[in-house]
Amino acid sequence: MSVKVATGRIRVGKYELGKTIGEGSFAKVKFARDVDNGNHVAIKILDRKHVLRHNMTEQLMREISTMKLINHPNVIKIFEVMASKTKIFIVLELVNGGELFDKIASNGRLKEDEARNYFQQLINAVDYCHSRGVYHRDLKPENLLLDSNSVLKVSDFGLSTYSQKEDELLRTACGTPNYVAPEVLKDRGYVGSTSDIWSCGVILFVLMAGYLPFDEPTHMALYRKIGMAKFSCPSWFPPQAKKLLKRILDPNPLTRIKIPELLEDEWFKKGYKQASFTEEEDLSVEDVAVAFNVSNENLVTERKEKPVYMNAFELISGSQSFNLDSLFEKQKDQVKRETRFTSQCPANEIMFKIEEAAKPLGFNVQKQNYKMKLQGDKSGRKGHLSVATEVFEVAPSLHMVELRKTRGDTLEFNKACENSFIHKYMSHDIISGSKFCRH
């Protein structure tokens, strides 16, 4: 595998890397293009040293192998795995419609038929995974993506487990607290399939209500409420939906509804379409082993002499529903985790001004090329706020600046952007005459 640099871009094998479209604690996801056929994909990039330092090799090999063995239209597809001496590259299906979480955050609760349709797709995916011994264990709207046709795709199997024995109890308490089943919180062992069903029930409630069924200011109060399955449905829930939710959000995993029963439920069956796809034979995970084998690596040289160039497709796909108006126009009253604005200033001047604005606000700044990490020194509602910043070249005299929340509370990020970052940028000549957007 070779890595080449051309026009400010990095090339890995046959893939040309573009802008970062996602970032987490242990990896980042970049937009990429297959130079052989022009197809667009997403590439998840893992730092090998970080993986080894945190003893994550076995977990990540399990995650990647799990995804390669899953072939379903409602589950993110993994195409191949490559490696260099310093990084592991996972080539994934590109999904442009954003997270289901964003749809709820932007528009509030969904209409009954729309909520049911997404729930049906989720159950189709979960049922398929369970039939292959795969249990997700961290199902939540943030891990449910939508493509341009509103087809739901389950992602992030980082907390999944693969087990051939359904009666084997899992003992790792993981997942997001608001969506986790009571038996998981008690840490006395649990069955992966029934805990996933509970999480699906919480997701259904959120889709139809626009808020969580279990939500308390402290973990102790939250766990107590979940343990008793203490929740109430809003008045607009139809009786059949309320009845189904009571059966799904049953605190006793032994009596909780199973998927075969759920598939026969009257409310669930309305407009139901079974997933149609062709099974792939001889799915291989050999490239996964190769990616983690030191003897099969090639050296990687990554170098950028100017900001990454953002082409028209990336510019459009960065906007929800491919609507260019929302890319450069401010949208009010939306809770978003990304902020963008354009500037005609030189890239190095933009970087300097951002650093100048961030430091007085208590952010520690780390710079590399035309990227910057801003780490808050104060702990907020969900820990320290962390913001990733990158400057892209849209045209020779026009740059786009993107700020993404990578850690911390989304509302705190929005407040920082509204009251501090963007306000300060707007007061400088750095973006004089430019436009601003929220995404």
Q: How far apart are the first and last CA of the chain?
A: 35
Instruction: Provide the annotated active-site residues.
Output: 138
- The CA–CA distances, whole Å, from 280 to 68, 71, 130, 234 equal 11, 7, 17, 43
Q: Residue 90, SS3?
A: strand
Question: What CA–CA distance (Å, rounded) separates 353 from 229?
Answer: 50
Answer for the pair 171, 124: CB distance below 8 angstroms, yes or no: no
* Angle of the 100-107 helix axis to the 192-209 helix axis, nearest 10: 30
Name the β-bridge partners of 199. Answer: none
Q: Locate tokens 């199902």: which residue? A: 139
Token duo for residue 10: 């990095």
Answer for the pair 202, 184: CB distance below 8 angstroms, yes or no: no
Answer for the pair 10, 380: CB distance below 8 angstroms, yes or no: no
Q: Which residues, including other chains, have CB under 8 Å from residue 281's CB and lie 6 or more apart?
A: none
Question: What CA–CA distance (Å, rounded) separates 299 from 33?
Answer: 21
Q: Is 306 annotated as a binding residue?
A: no
Answer for the pair 234, 112: CB distance below 8 angstroms, yes or no: no
| Burial class of 116 by CB neighbour count within 10 A (0 to 12, 13 to 18, 19+) | buried
- The CA–CA distances, whole Å, from 166 to 49, 61, 247, 252 equal 35, 21, 21, 17
Residues at the binding site for ATP are 44
Residues at the binding site are 44
